[in-house]
Amino acid sequence: MKESSHFVHKYLRSSKRFPHIWCAGCGIGIFMQALIRVIDKIGYSKDEVVLVSGIGCSSRLPVYVDFNTLHATHGRALTFATGVKLANPRLKVITIMGDGDAASIGGNHLIHAARRNVEIVSFVINNQVYGMTGGQSSPTTPYGLKTTSAPYGNLEAPFDISRLVEAAGAVFVGRTTVYHTPQLERLIEKSLKKDGFSMVEVLAQCVTYSGRWMGLASPVEMMAWQRDNAITVEKAAEMNETELAGKVVIGVLVDRERPIYDKEYGKLAREKLKV
């Protein structure tokens, strides 16, 4: 069979129906391929990787890949992941969340996982909308954008997930878009190799909803928007806030060291409790 020549196909569950459920041109598929590539490049075995997700379009991702996978309840990917990591610290625990899943329904879990600094790699696929339920405003929907739940324009200011997680204490925070695929792969690799809680915010296009609300009719137009509105961290440092309005700052936002919860816990268990 021709398909089997693609190495990415080695990681897909052949029992699932392909092509996948995501709309034509959806950014989640691009992220999924990048994640598989990096895992293959680093050389993790399928058995040591755990993918945990909540509910939403992006949370469908673990269904398709042949790692240890856990499709948990809405917003609770990080809580399940924390449990998995503490039960078996040797596993590489990865969570896949959408912007609604991570910042709204699971918002508290996101900040507390970052505060605790549990060794989890989390990816937030930010498409700025609740795509699966029909295009309602999410916590990252830009101010003034017309959506299904805000027909006269969104009155709420959007969350900056990366800065939220940075303030909460994550040791690695990166942001990029699916247009910048080589950078996306570099950030995934750095976050997977980092000890402690790391998060990469991936701006992805939802062609069916946020694209339509933004007046960008096709995935090509949305990716061109990502290309034209992304500013690197280095360049953004020289710009003021008015110049940065409406732009997306991409690159490594935070890279630091802090005590890691599961390592401290293991040390405590060995020294004090003699486990």
User: What does the binding site for other proteins look like in residue numbers (CB under 8 A)?
Assistant: 2-3, 5-10, 12, 18-20, 22-30, 33-34, 37, 40, 178-179, 181-182, 185, 207, 218-220, 223-224
CB closer to other proteins, 51 vs 260:
51
Decide if 105 contacts 87 (C-beta within 8 A): no
Q: Are strands 248-255 and 172-177 parallel, antiparallel or unpaired?
A: antiparallel
Decide if 166 contacts 212 (C-beta within 8 A): no
Three-state secondary-structure class, residue 199: strand
CB closer to other proteins, 6 vs 267:
6
* Strand order across the beta sheet in which 92-98 lies: 68-71, 49-53, 92-98, 121-126, 198-203, 172-177, 248-255, 230-232
CB closer to other proteins, 25 vs 100:
25
CB closer to other proteins, 49 vs 260:
49
CB closer to other proteins, 30 vs 105:
30
Q: How far apart are CA 64 and CA 17, in angstroms?
A: 9
CB closer to other proteins, 84 vs 250:
250
Decide if 89 contacts 116 (C-beta within 8 A): no
145 Cβ contact partners less than 8 Å away, ≥ 6 residues apart: 128, 137, 153, 154, 210, 213, 214
- The angle formed by the CA atoms of residues 174, 178 and 183, to the nearest 5 degrees, is 50
CA-nearest of 127, 128, 124 to 156 is: 128
Decide if 125 contacts 202 (C-beta within 8 A): yes
Shortest distance, position 183 Cβ to other proteins, whole Å:
11
Q: Where are the beta strands (DSSP E) in 6-91?
A: 49-53, 68-71
CB closer to other proteins, 30 vs 168:
30
Shortest distance, position 37 Cβ to other proteins, whole Å:
8
